[in-house]
């Protein structure tokens, strides 16, 4: 096996991933948010996953509109992270003031009096459960006794895994669950360090396109109204610069509609997201996600529906990641979605 694909703790791959993680977090560590210039763009944290694709599109469109009549002088920029713990820490401490976050994690943070609010969805669907192409696993129940990786126990991917377990009258005790950063998962499957993994794209598509993995289950087939990553902002940003938060929501929602409008829009988004400034990924992998099938991840319906959040909360309570019901209003601010103003995605 090529050692570059070795996912062991001391491998070159692991060192590169950790190095990338630290470099991604470095800009937020250099200067606290309250010490930055008042007109500096806010950094919006996100992972290089297609569930976060509306963020690079929104940032690029906002930059293209800078200086035009009606545009706010202050903007927003994508800040790349490679794992949810790092995004969570940066948002909690105020190093960044906005991020795409796991919905159940935001619920838990709000319950712990961390001043954050969900202001928009970022996508729908986009999670997969992958197994090796040469494995004998043909149906979900074949995973009994196997080692499965998830990004986090707060991830909706974990709730998807639990829903599939329940459907087969299985429990999490019937498999071995390990937490792993999504970029590590394809290499871990290749090296047979895990028997499968459940995560957001493009980390399923990367292994599938390489030929050594196949999807065993996809949210597009099993959980059509699946939501995971949500645009979250710190409450002080809402208080200090409400117009900027509104503009961020305007662009994210417009990016979602634009992405689902035509294949040409998706192709343009692939070119943008693949660049070093954003995901820094092979565009062919992103294209594979967008085309196999076309609704593997969707973005056009970004409505905030209370019943869907209630379902996520109930599933999280059953999973033990949230200990008790949390008031919807404590972690969601619907006012920005209700006040959306159309903006053009000219990129």
d(CA 265, CA 44): 22
**Least reliable range by pLDDT among 36-40, 158-162, 175-179, 279-283:** 36-40
Taking residues 2-14, report their average pLDDT: 43
Over 90: is that where the pLDDT of 33 sits? no
pLDDT at 16 (0 to 100)? 43
d(CA 332, CA 114): 13
pLDDT at 145 (0 to 100)? 97
Provide the token pair at 300.
């056009």
d(CA 227, CA 103): 8
pLDDT at 114 (0 to 100)? 96
* Nearest CA-CA partner of 7 in 195, 202, 184, 183: 184
121-171 tens-digit pLDDT:
999 999 999 999 999 999 999 999 999 999 888 899 999 999 999 999 999
187-209 tens-digit pLDDT:
999 999 999 999 999 999 999 99
d(CA 203, CA 128): 9
Write the burial class of residue 212 (CB in 10 Å: 0-12 exposed, 13-18 middle, 19+ buried): middle
Over 70: is that where the pLDDT of 70 sits? no
Taking residues 264-278, report their average pLDDT: 96
pLDDT at 71 (0 to 100)? 65
* Percent of the chain whose predicted confidence (pLDDT) is above 90: 81
Place of tokens 């609704």: 295
pLDDT at 32 (0 to 100)? 44
Over 60: is that where the pLDDT of 300 sits? yes
Over 70: is that where the pLDDT of 25 sits? no
Q: Are 106 and 152 in contact (CB under 8 A)?
A: no
The domains located in the chain, with CATH, are 20-125+226-338 (3.40.190.10), 127-222 (3.40.190.10)
pTM of the model: 0.84
pLDDT at 82 (0 to 100)? 84
């Amino acid at each position: 096996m090529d050692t570059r694909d070795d996912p062991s703790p001391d491998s070159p791959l692991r060192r590169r991933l950790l190095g990338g993680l630290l470099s991604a977090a470095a800009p937020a560590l250099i200067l606290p948010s309250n010490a930055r210039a008042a007109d500096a763009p806010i950094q919006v944290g996100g992972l290089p996953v297609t569930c976060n694709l509306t963020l690079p599109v929104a940032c690029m469109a906002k930059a293209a509109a800078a200086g035009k009549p009606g545009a706010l002088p202050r903007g927003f920029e994508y800040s790349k992270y490679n794992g949810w713990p790092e995004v969570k820490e940066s948002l909690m401490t105020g190093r960044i003031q906005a991020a795409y976050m796991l919905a159940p994690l935001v619920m838990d943070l709000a319950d712990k009096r961390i001043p954050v609010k969900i202001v928009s969805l970022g996508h729908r669907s986009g999670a997969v459960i992958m197994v090796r192409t040469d494995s004998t696993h043909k149906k979900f129940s074949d995973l009994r006794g196997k080692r499965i990786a998830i990004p986090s126990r707060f991830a909706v991917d974990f709730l998807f895994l639990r829903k599939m377990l329940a459907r087969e009258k299985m429990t999490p005790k019937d498999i071995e669950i390990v937490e792993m950063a999504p970029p590590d998962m394809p290499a871990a499957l290749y090296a047979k360090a895990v028997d499968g993994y459940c995560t957001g794209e493009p980390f399923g598509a990367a292994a599938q396109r390489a030929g050594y993995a196949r999807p065993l289950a996809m949210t597009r087939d099993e959980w059509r109204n699946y939501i995971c990553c949500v645009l979250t902002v710190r409450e002080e940003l809402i208080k200090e610069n409400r117009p900027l938060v509104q503009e961020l929501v305007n662009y994210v929602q417009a990016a979602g509609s634009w992405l689902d409008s035509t294949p040409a829009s998706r192709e343009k988004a692939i070119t943008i997201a693949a660049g070093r400034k954003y995901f820094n990924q092979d565009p062919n992998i992103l294209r594979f996600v967008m085309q196999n099938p076309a609704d593997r991840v969707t973005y056009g319906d970004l409505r905030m529906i209370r019943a869907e959040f209630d379902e996520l909360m109930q599933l999280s309570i059953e999973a033990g990641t949230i200990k008790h019901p949390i008031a919807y209003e404590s972690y969601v601010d619907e006012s920005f979605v209700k006040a959306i103003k159309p903006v053009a995605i000219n990129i």
